[in-house]
Amino acid sequence: MKPRIAITGAGIISALGNSRQEVYQKLLEDECPTRERDDWADQMYGTYQPFAAAVDLPVETAKTISRHFRRSMGNAALYATLAARDAVAESGLSKEALQSGRVGCIISSTVGSPGEIYASAMAVLRNELQDLSSCQFFKIVSHSSAFNVANFFGICGVQLSPCSACASALQSIGLAYEQIKLGHQDAIVAGGSDETTPIVLESFRFLNALAKNPDWSPSELSRPFAEDRCGLVCGDGAGIFVVEEWSHAQARQATILAEICGYATNCNGSQISQSDGASIAQCMRQALKDANLNPEDIDYVSAHATSTPSGDREEASAIREIFGDTVPVSSLKGHLGHTLGASGGLESAIILEMAKNDTIIPTKNLTRIAEDCAGLDHVTSSRPKRLRTVLKNCIAFGGVNATIIYRLADF
Amino acid sequence: MTREKIIQLVNQIFIEQFEIEPDQLTPEKRIFEDLALDSLDIVDLVTGLQQKFSIPLRENKDILEIRTLNDIYVLFEKLAAEHPDIVAKLNKEP
C-alpha cells in the first residue's frame, strides 16, 4: 500500500502578518504590503525609487529566539525558525520525537542571507574582516535556514537544503514527502524562507524583471497574468510545514491539515533565466501521475505567476494545455509579491486557509487578462469554492519546476 | 585608565553583544560556566574587546588564560599600563 503523507503543522512569517488566519483575512480584504523603501535607495544603482513587500520584524519578536540560536541567523534563517516554531507547536510533535533521529529538517532559500553576504562583502572592501562575527559563515552558507532550525529543535535526523531559488520551498516540501515515503523519516520540518534586500532587487532589476511603472502605486505593481504586467515585486518571509507519515500522525492523534498526494520536479535543460511551458506542463503531468489523479480531479491551481511577461505566459500555456479553462487559477503574488525561496511554502500555507474557508483568493490587479495568458479560468474576485484537491506550482531560475498536489478534505 | 572605566567598557560588550543583564556581571563570574558563553562567543568577545580598546588581541597569549570577568579586567589594567596612548584616547570618551 502506498504510504500516505500528512501535513500536521504550518507556520508562516510574511509581510502581511505571521499567522495563516490573519494573512488570509487580509488577502480577502485585498491588502498588499508592497511599499516604497526610501531607506534602501542608497544601496541601489543610480537614482531609483526602491519598493518591496518585505517583512519588517520587530526586534522583540526576533528576541523570542534566544541569542544563542539567533547569533548564527541571517533574516532568512530567523524567519524560518519563527515559522517552524509555530508549525511544530501546531503539530504537537514532542521534544522526544523531534530529537529521536526519526524527524528531519529540509528547508532552503535562494541563498543563505543576502543581507549578511552584503555585510561580508562590505567588510572586505573596507578592510574590516577582523571585525566580522564568528557566526558570519553560518549566516551566509546556503543551508543556513536548515541547520539553524534543526539546531533550534535539537533535530538529528536528515538535514537537507535543496536550494533552487524560487522553487526552494516546494522542492523542500517535496523532498520531505519523498524521504518519508521511502521510510527514512517519520516526520520532517520542511519549507522555505528568504529575505529581500536592495541587492536582491538589483539582481532582478539588471535582468529587467522588476516591475516598473511610475504611474502605478506600489500595491498596483504586481499584476500576474495582466495585459500590462511588467515585472515582479520582491517580497520575503517563510512558510514551513511539519510533513508526517500518515499512520505516525494518526497514532499520536495529531490533527491532519492536508495530505500531500503528489509531487514532481524537473528542469527545462535549456534556459537558466526563462520559463518554459513544455517542461512546466510535464512537471504538472508527473505530479498528477504521482498522485494518481486526472486534471479534472483538481479544484484549483495556485500558480507561480510572478507578473513577468514571459514567465506568466509560459506557465499560462502549460496550465491551458492540461486544464483548459475548466479549473480556477490564481496567483498570490499580486498581493504578496514574489517571496522567492519562501513562496512555495508561504503560498501553500495560505491554500490551507482557502480550503478551510471554501474561498479562492483572486489574483490582485488582474483587471485586463493578457491575450497570451487567456483561455484559463482566472479568478479575479474572491470565489466561493470547496477545495478538495489543489495543485501548486513553483518555477525558478535555473529552469527548475516543482509541483505539489494537496488533498485538503475528505481524507 | 581606571579600573572602573575598564569594567564599564568590558561590561558594555557583555550587555550589548551577549545580551546579559547588567546585574549578572560581577567580577567572580566564570565566562563559560556562569555567563554561558561558548567557543564561538569567545571569538566575538576578543573581536569586541579589540574594537572597544583599539588593542590587537588575536596574538595575545594572556587572552587565552582568562576564565572570569575579573581576569579580563586585570588583563586590561596590565594592557592599559603598556599602552598609555590608547588609554589617553579612551579617557576622552564619555
Contacts of B47 in chain A (CB under 8 A): 130-134
E strand or H helix at A20: helix A20-28
Using the beta-carbon criterion (under 8 Å), do B44 and A130 form an inter-chain contact? no
Q: Based on the domain organization, do A64 and A30 belong to the same domain?
A: yes
Facing B19 at nearest CB: one of A67, A132, A135: A67
Q: How far is B1 from chain A (nearest CA, A)?
A: 24
What is the identity of the amino acid at A178?
E
Whether A183 shows a pLDDT value over 70: the answer reads: yes
Residues A371 and A237 in one domain: no
Q: Same domain for A270 and A223?
A: no
pLDDT tens by residue, A221-246 = 999 999 999 999 999 999 999 999 99
Q: Kindly state whether residues A57 and A122 are assigned to the same domain.
A: yes
Mean pLDDT of A316-340: 98
Say yes or no: A197 and A287 in one domain.
Answer: no
Question: Where residue A377 sits, what CATH number does that domain have?
Answer: 3.40.47.10
**Cα(A344)–Cα(A303) distance, integer angstroms:** 10
Contact A363, A134 (CB under 8 A): no
A121 with A213, same domain: the answer is yes
Residues of B in contact with A67 (CB under 8 A): 18-19
The domain boundary, picked from A251, A283, A315, lies at A251
Express each pLDDT in A115-173 by its tens digit: 999 999 999 999 998 889 999 999 999 999 999 999 999 999 999 999 999 999 999 99
Query: Does residue A60 belong to the interface with chain B, where contact is any CB pair within 8 Å?
Result: no
pLDDT at A384: 98
Cα–Cα distances (Å) from A84 to A91, A217, A402, B1, in that order, read: 10, 33, 22, 48
Tell me whether residues B44 and A133 touch, CB distance under 8 A: yes
Higher-pLDDT residue of B61, A334: A334
Residues of A in contact with B36 (CB under 8 A): 68
Q: Do A131 and B51 touch (CB under 8 A)?
A: yes
Instruction: Give the pLDDT confidence of A272-315 residue by residue, as tens digits.
Output: 999 999 999 999 999 999 999 999 999 999 999 999 999 999 99
Instruction: Answer whether B18 sits within 8 Å of A68, measured CB to CB.
Output: no
Residue A96 has pLDDT above 80, yes or no: yes
pLDDT surpasses 80 at A333: yes
Tell whether the model's pLDDT for residue B94 goes beyond 90: no
The reported pLDDT for the residue numbered A19 is 96
Residue of B nearest to A138 (CA): B40
- Is the pLDDT at B93 greater than 90? The verdict is no
Alpha-carbon distances, residue A357 vs A287, A390, A409 (angstroms): 25, 14, 12
Our count of domains for chain A comes to: 2
The total number of structural domains that make up chain B: 1
Residue-wise pLDDT tens digits, A200-225: 999 999 999 999 988 999 999 999 99
Of A63, A68, A134, the CB nearest to B44: A134
Same domain, A307 and A167: no
pLDDT band at B1 (very low <50, low <70, confident <90, very high): low
CA distance A66 to chain B (A): 9
Q: Which residue segment(s) compose the domain that A316 sits in?
A: 260-407
Residues 6+ apart with CB under 8 A from B41: A71, A134, B18
Residues A83 and A224 placed together within one structural domain of the fold: yes
Q: How confident is the model at residue A47 (pLDDT cuts 50, 70, 90)?
A: confident
Question: Cell digits for A251?
Answer: 497514532
Interchain contact, A134 vs B51, CB within 8 Å: no
- CATH no. for residue B24? 1.10.1200.10
CB A389 within 8 A of CB A261: yes
Q: Which pLDDT tens digit goes with each residue over A58-93?
A: 999 999 999 999 999 999 999 999 999 999 999 999
H-helix or E-strand containing A309? helix A309-323
State which residues form the domain around B38.
3-92
**Preferred mutation among A67, A126, A151 to probe B, highest tally of B CBs within 10 A:** A67
Mind telling me how many Å the CA of A71 is from chain B's nearest CA? 9
Same domain, residue pair A217 and A125: yes
According to the model, what pLDDT value does residue B19 have?
A: 96
Best mutation target, B32, B35, B41, to test chain A (most A CBs within 10 A): B41
CB contact under 8 A, B47 and A68: no
Residue B91 has pLDDT above 80, yes or no: no
CB-CB under 8 Å, B47 with A131: yes
pLDDT in tens, A351-388: 999 999 999 999 999 999 999 999 999 999 999 999 99
| Minimal-distance CA residue of chain A relative to B39 | A134
CB contact under 8 A, A134 and B19: no
Residue that has been written with the C-alpha cell 528576541 in this structure:
A63
Cα A173 to Cα A106, A160, A242, B94, distances in angstroms: 7, 11, 9, 53
Q: Own/partner pairs for A127-136, CB < 8 Å, 24+ apart? A: A130/B47, A130/B50, A130/B58, A131/B47, A131/B51, A132/B47, A133/A71, A133/B44, A133/B47, A134/B40, A134/B41, A134/B43, A134/B44, A134/B47, A135/A71, A135/A72, A135/B40, A135/B44
In the predicted model, what is the mean pLDDT of residues A390-395?
98
- On the question of pLDDT at B56 being above 90, the answer is no
Whether residue A74 is found in the same domain as residue A129: yes
Percent of chain A with pLDDT over 90: 97
Task: Select from B18, B43, B47 the Cβ nearest to the Cβ of A67.
Answer: B18
A354: its cell numbers: 482557502
Claim to verify: residue A227 and residue A316 sit in the same structural domain: no
How far is the C-alpha of A54 from the C-alpha of B42, rounded, in Å? 34
Just list the catalytic residues of A: 166, 304, 338
Is this prediction's ipTM beyond 0.85?
Answer: yes
* Lowest pLDDT segment from A307-316, A360-369, B58-67, B84-93: B84-93
